[in-house]
């Protein structure tokens, strides 16, 4: 996959050849998948080869990330999974003079895969030679529970209900996740909601899945919006009609093929703003759960924060889908 970025958005990244050393910070999550094979010293050496003078910061939690990013400038390279990348991006959002570089070392790597950043960490670093920078969008959420930002997705319905029952804070367990999915789909009875899309009121509908996507996938590589781009200044609103839903096997097959939005019951629209009535249902914001609040009502407003920060992309020939 190659991102179709407008030329006005893309800027050449400085070349390492004949260039003065550049500031860089390396955020490294030692608990991410693959961290046992690639040490921070190996990544620092790879960044040195590109002309950077990186400062290495070990991080085990979000408090460590916040402390490491207080006075950074230049490039911030993140070696970790989606959670570490998200925490870093949210702390850097709105700052000038910084650029985010992803070194995916997680399990799903939804953010990096959407941007065409794949391969082992040293291959990814090498591919940044001659790369470009581009704007990276975030999603803003204003809801009865407060304000949030997301990098991948925010939504309600089946996936949010699964996360609420699965409780990712208890650790990863595919068996527990499968049980939560079966239970949720069996008992799913979504409320009728009248959305507002870019200021236009929509008919009252029951949505089995309602996701506002900034990347192709969320969670365990659920590719709900195969054509979404976090660099286009828009979000993708994915709706599954609960009254005309397809079979579970059809959904699983379409997800595996990357054709989820081609199913008859699925609608995928590009939007800049979406209003979702809140009737106390569970929501998720990336991998975090906003649990049900029975008896609470209001509206969840979601909008794109276009170009919230800049991200480094590999050279064109190095990107893969």
How does pLDDT run across 278-303, given as a tens digit for each residue? 999 999 999 999 999 999 999 999 99
Helices 158-166 and 174-187: crossing angle in degrees, nearest 10, is 130
State the CATH number of the domain containing residue 30.
3.40.50.10330
Residue found under tokens 């860089």: 24
For range 147-159, the mean pLDDT: 96
Summary mean pLDDT of the chain: 86
Same domain, 150 and 280: yes
Phi, psi of 41 (to 5 degrees): -60, -35
The yes-or-no verdict on residue 320 having pLDDT over 50 is no
User: Do 131 and 89 fall within a single domain?
Assistant: yes
> Are residues 123 and 31 both part of a single domain?
yes
Whether 5 is covered by a domain: the verdict is: no
Using 50, 70 and 90 to split pLDDT, how confident is the model at 219? Answer: confident
Residue 101 lies in a domain: yes
Name the DSSP letter for residue 47: H
Relative to beta strand 153-157, strand 146-150 is unpaired
More confident residue, 222 or 11: 222
Q: Is 173 helix (H, G, I), strand (E, B) or coil?
A: coil
Residue 60 has pLDDT above 80, yes or no: no
72 versus 2: the higher-pLDDT residue is 72
User: Of 155, 182, 197, 111, which is closest to residue 290 (Cα–Cα)?
Assistant: 155
Which residue, 82, 42, 87, 45, is CA-closest to 67?
A: 87
Same domain, 97 and 214: no
Q: How far is CA 133 from the centre of its chain?
A: 18
The CA dihedral of 113, 117, 123, 124, to the nearest 10 degrees, is -130
CB 163 within 8 A of CB 282: yes
2 inside domain = no
The arithmetic mean of pLDDT across residues 150-174, rounded, is 80
**Environment class of 175 (CB within 10 Å of its CB; exposed 0-12, middle 13-18, buried 19+):** exposed
pLDDT band at 33 (very low <50, low <70, confident <90, very high): low
- Tell me, yes or no, whether 190 lies in a domain: yes
Asked whether residue 206 falls in the same domain as residue 113, the answer is no
In this structure, the answer to whether residues 183 and 76 fall within a common structural domain is no
Whether residue 57 is found in the same domain as residue 172: no
Asked if the model's pLDDT at residue 321 lies above 80, the reply is: no
Which of 16-20, 63-67, 193-197 shows the lowest per-residue confidence on average (mean pLDDT)? 16-20
Are 157 and 240 found together in one domain? Answer: yes
Q: Which domain holds residue 161?
A: 139-307
- Residues 170, 112 share a domain: no
Least confident of 150-159, 241-250, 267-276: 241-250
- Written as one string, the DSSP assignment of 207-272 is EEEEEEESSS-BTTTB-S-TT--TTSS-EEEEEEESTT---HHHHHHHHHHT-GGGSTTEEEEEES
Number of domains making up the chain: 2
Full-model pTM = 0.88
Q: Give the DSSP per-residue string, 52-75.
A: EEEEEEEESSHHHHHHHTTT--EE
Q: In the prediction, which pLDDT does 246 show?
A: 82
Instruction: Let me know if residue 68 belongs to a domain.
Output: yes
Q: What CATH number does residue 302 fall under?
A: 2.60.200.40
Residue of 249 and 219 predicted with greater confidence: 219
pLDDT of residue 18: 35
Same domain, 80 and 165: no
What pLDDT is recorded for position 175?
57
The string of pLDDT tens digits covering residues 247-281 is: 877 887 888 889 999 999 999 999 999 999 999 99
Give the span between the Cα atoms of 153 and 107, in whole angstroms.
17
> Residue with structure tokens 């019951």?
265
Residues 6+ positions from 71 with CB-CB distance below 8 Å: none
User: Which token pair is 102?
Assistant: 């992803």
What whole-number percentage of the chain has pLDDT above 90? 64
């Amino acid at each position: 996959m190659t991102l179709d970025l407008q030329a006005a958005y893309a800027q050449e990244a400085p070349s390492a050849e004949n260039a003065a050393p550049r500031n860089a910070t390396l955020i490294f999550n030692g608990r991410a998948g693959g961290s046992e094979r690639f040490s921070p010293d190996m990544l620092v050496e790879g960044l040195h080869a590109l002309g950077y003078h990186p400062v290495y910061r070990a991080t085990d939690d979000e408090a460590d990330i916040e402390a490491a990013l207080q006075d950074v400038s230049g490039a911030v390279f993140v070696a970790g999974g989606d959670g570490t990348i998200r925490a870093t991006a949210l702390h850097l959002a709105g700052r000038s003079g910084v650029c985010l570089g992803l070194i995916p070392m997680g399990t799903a790597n939804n953010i990096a895969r959407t941007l065409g950043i794949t391969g082992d960490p040293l291959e990814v670093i090498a591919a940044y030679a001659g790369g470009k920078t581009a704007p990276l969008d975030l999603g803003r959420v204003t809801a009865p529970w407060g304000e949030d930002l997301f990098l991948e997705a925010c939504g309600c319905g089946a996936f949010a209900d699964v996360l609420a029952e699965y409780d990712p804070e208890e650790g990863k367990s595919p068996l527990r996740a499968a049980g939560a999915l079966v239970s949720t789909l069996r008992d799913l009875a979504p409320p009728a909601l009248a959305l507002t899309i870019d200021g236009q009121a929509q008919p009252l509908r029951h949505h089995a899945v309602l996701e506002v996507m900034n990347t192709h996938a969320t969670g365990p590589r659920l590719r709900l919006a195969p054509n979404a781009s976090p660099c286009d200044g828009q979000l993708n609103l994915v709706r599954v009609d609960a009254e005309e839903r397809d079979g579970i096997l059809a959904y699983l097959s379409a997800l595996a093929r990357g054709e989820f939005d081609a199913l008859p019951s699925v609608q995928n629209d590009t939007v800049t703003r979406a209003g979702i009535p809140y009737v106390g249902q569970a929501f998720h914001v990336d991998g975090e759960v906003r649990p049900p609040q029975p008896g609470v009502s209001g509206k969840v407003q979601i909008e794109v924060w276009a170009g919230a920060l800049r991200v480094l992309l590999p050279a064109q020939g190095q990107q893969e889908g």
